[in-house]
């Protein structure tokens, strides 16, 4: 096969994969994992079931890939918000606040926080969370402990406590009907973080 044809086929396969991810994400966000069939996904993507199975061996595998992409997007938003600050403490606060804001998007709430643990199981979901935003949180806390901004202590339990609090807040915001709750949650998070500072 000529090299240009090989490249064209690879590009077509990648386009198909991206279409499946996009349509899968849209459907999972709109109606939830349990209510979406493979037939609906392939119809929305305009491909055959064979094309789907070429990329993903099951609906769960597609969901896992969608969730991984979404977690990466949230992680990038958190890192961008943190990276816009010079001071280590301000980076932590900005990153945590951005996490709360980013997870208020309805597709993020349903896929990442509601269906994610239910579909993949708590253990796998936590491992994926650890590999994305939780890792950045640990790194930020480690830096602040080393700088003496936060009292010397084991970082792992602190990171899990903060991560759990933020995930729970995001889940609560998902069911809240009051637009003021986001601002109140961000303010409460700011006070919680402030309590960690030495002095």
CATH, range 1-56: 1.10.10.60
Q: What is the mean pLDDT of residues 129-150?
A: 90
**Of the listed ranges 73-82, 130-139, 177-186, the one predicted with least confidence:** 130-139
Domain 67-194 superfamily per CATH = Tetracycline Repressor, domain 2 (1.10.357.10)
pLDDT confidence of 5, banded at 50, 70, 90? Answer: low
Q: What is the mean pLDDT of residues 182-191?
A: 96
Question: Would you state the pLDDT for residue 101?
Answer: 92
What is the SS3 assignment for 197?
A: strand
What is the SS3 assignment for 138?
A: helix
Burial 19-34, CB ≥16 within 10 A → b, else e? bbbebbbbbbbeeebe
* pLDDT (tens digit per residue) in 78-117: 999 999 999 999 999 999 999 999 988 888 989 998 899 9
Are 181 and 173 a contacting pair, CB within 8 Å? yes
pLDDT confidence of 162, banded at 50, 70, 90? Answer: very high
Question: Would you state the pLDDT for residue 6?
Answer: 61
Q: What is the mean pLDDT of residues 179-183?
A: 91
Burial 75-92, CB ≥16 within 10 A → b, else e? bebbeebbeeeeebbebb
Q: What is the mean pLDDT of residues 149-170?
A: 94
Q: Is the pLDDT of residue 2 over 60?
A: no
Question: Would you state the pLDDT for residue 124?
Answer: 94
Mean pLDDT of the chain, nearest integer = 91
DSSP state of 113: I
Of 2, 8, 43, 10, residue with least CA distance to 24: 43
User: Cα 33 to the chain's mean position, in Å?
Assistant: 16
Could you give the angle at which helices 180-194 and 88-102 cross, rounded to 10 degrees? 150
* pLDDT (tens digit per residue) in 47-72: 999 999 999 999 999 999 999 999 99
Question: Would you state the pLDDT for residue 112?
Answer: 92
What is the SS3 assignment for 84?
A: coil
Share of the chain above pLDDT 90, in %: 74
Question: Would you state the pLDDT for residue 3?
Answer: 54
Report domain extents, the chain: 1-56, 67-194
Q: Is the pLDDT of residue 133 over 80?
A: no
**Of the listed ranges 15-24, 52-61, 96-105, 130-139, the one predicted with least confidence:** 130-139
pTM of the predicted model as reported, rounded to 2 decimal places: 0.86
Are 117 and 135 a contacting pair, CB within 8 Å? no
């Amino acid at each position: 096969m000529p090299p240009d044809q090989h490249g064209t086929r690879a590009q077509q396969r990648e386009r198909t994969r991206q279409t499946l991810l996009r349509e899968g994400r849209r459907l999972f966000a709109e109606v939830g994992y349990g209510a979406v069939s493979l037939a609906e996904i392939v119809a929305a993507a305009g491909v055959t079931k064979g094309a789907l199975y070429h990329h993903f061996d099951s609906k769960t595998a597609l969901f896992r890939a969608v969730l991984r992409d979404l977690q990466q997007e949230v992680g990038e938003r958190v890192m961008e918000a943190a990276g816009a600050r010079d001071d280590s403490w301000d980076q932590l606060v900005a990153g945590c606040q951005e996490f709360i804001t980013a997870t208020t998007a309805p597709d993020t709430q349903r896929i990442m926080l509601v269906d994610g643990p239910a579909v993949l199981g708590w253990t796998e979901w936590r491992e994926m969370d650890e590999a994305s935003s939780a890792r950045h949180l640990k790194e930020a806390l480690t830096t602040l402990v080393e700088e003496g901004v936060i009292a010397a202590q084991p970082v792992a339990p602190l990171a899990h406590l903060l991560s759990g609090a933020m995930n729970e807040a995001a889940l609560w915001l998902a069911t809240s009907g009051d637009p003021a709750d986001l601002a109140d949650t961000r303010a409460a998070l700011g006070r919680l973080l402030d309590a960690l500072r030495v002095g």
